[in-house]
Chains A and B, each alone.
Chain A
Amino acid sequence: DSGVTQTPKHLITATGQRVTLRCSPRSGDLSVYWYQQSLDQGLQFLIQYYNGEERAKGNILERFSAQQFPDLHSELNLSSLELGDSALYFCASSSLLYNEQFFGPGTRLTVL
């Protein structure tokens, strides 16, 4: 158990809908990262927050947004969902900006 929690574990929804994925970092970690992993693919970096501020952005679609709250948990919002958005979404956290990242168990999103 990495100490990073993600909810929900599974999510099934329809095209055009909006969903919110939630992540709680390890106790004391200030930085949160979001990744997307499509079937048989590697991990694609989406976005990073550090102590509530956006720090780095990867290939995140405009339909996707995220935020980190004062209690350091983070949410990833996915809107106008398409079939191709079906994937595993992982959250990771690290204590500072340049330390190793610890991953949560992921949320499996299925868009029908």
Chain B
Amino acid sequence: GQQLNQSPQSMFIQEGEDVSMNCTSSSIFNTWLWYKQEPGEGPVLLIALYKAGELTSNGRLTAQFGITRKDSFLNISASIPSDVGIYFCAGRETSGSRLTFGEGTQLTVNP
């Protein structure tokens, strides 16, 4: 089956720093989604991308759908303590309706 590689696995940063994480796939995707999950909670949708090259922002978060359609990245600017959590990318292949999730990036923000 398809592989979805998310990196880095974890990040430890200081409040105010910018953060960047990315996902790459072995297949071409027509949708990329980014979710945030806090302990004991369900993933919350942050940004949805549907077109190659698309750049979308949601507050301090910006995500892009890679031109090759095999990658996506998420940037968080000026991080704050409440950004702590696990960030997941998810992609959908052209032919299917199911999502494949990355393994997640655990973000820790030190005040």
Measured CB to CB, the residues of A under 8 A from B are 2, 4, 31, 33, 41-43, 45, 48, 50, 55-56, 58, 90, 92, 97-98, 100-106, 108
Residue contact A98 to B31, C-beta cutoff 8 Å: yes
Q: List 10 A-B contacts (CB under 8 A).
A: A2-B42, A2-B44, A31-B97, A43-B101, A97-B97, A100-B33, A101-B33, A101-B90, A103-B44, A105-B41
Residue contact A43 to B97, C-beta cutoff 8 Å: no
Q: Take A56-B96, A100-B33 as given contacts and tell me if A42 and B104 are in contact as well, using a CB distance cutoff of 8 Å.
A: yes
Residue contact B98 to A100, C-beta cutoff 8 Å: no
> What's the tally of chain B residues with a CB closer than 8 Å to chain A?
22
Task: Say how far B101's CB is from chain A's closest CB, in angstroms.
Answer: 4
Measured CB to CB, the residues of B under 8 A from A are 31, 33, 35, 40-45, 48, 88, 90, 92, 96-104
Residue contact B98 to A48, C-beta cutoff 8 Å: yes
How far apart are the CA atoms of A108 and B98 in the complex, in Å? 23
Q: Take A2-B44, A43-B88, A98-B92 as given contacts and tell me if A56 and B104 are in contact as well, using a CB distance cutoff of 8 Å.
A: no
How far apart are the CA atoms of A50 and B101 in the complex, in Å? 20
Starting from the known contacts A45-B101, A103-B42, A103-B44, 10 additional A-B residue pairs (CB-CB under 8 Å) come to A2-B45, A33-B98, A33-B99, A41-B103, A42-B101, A42-B103, A42-B104, A50-B97, A103-B43, A105-B42
Residues of A within 8 A of B99 (CB): 33, 45, 101
Q: Which of A4, A56, A102 contacts B98 (CB 8 A)?
A: A56
Residues of A within 8 A of B104 (CB): 42
How far apart are the CA atoms of A101 and B99 in the complex, in Å? 9
Residues of A within 8 A of B96 (CB): 56
| CB nearest neighbor in B for A45 | B98
How far apart are the CA atoms of A104 and B33 in the complex, in Å? 16
Residues of A within 8 A of B41 (CB): 105-106
Residue contact A106 to B98, C-beta cutoff 8 Å: no
Residues of B within 8 A of A58 (CB): 98
Interface centre among B33, B42, B88 (most CB of A within 10 A): B42
Task: Say how far B99's CB is from chain A's closest CB, in angstroms.
Answer: 6
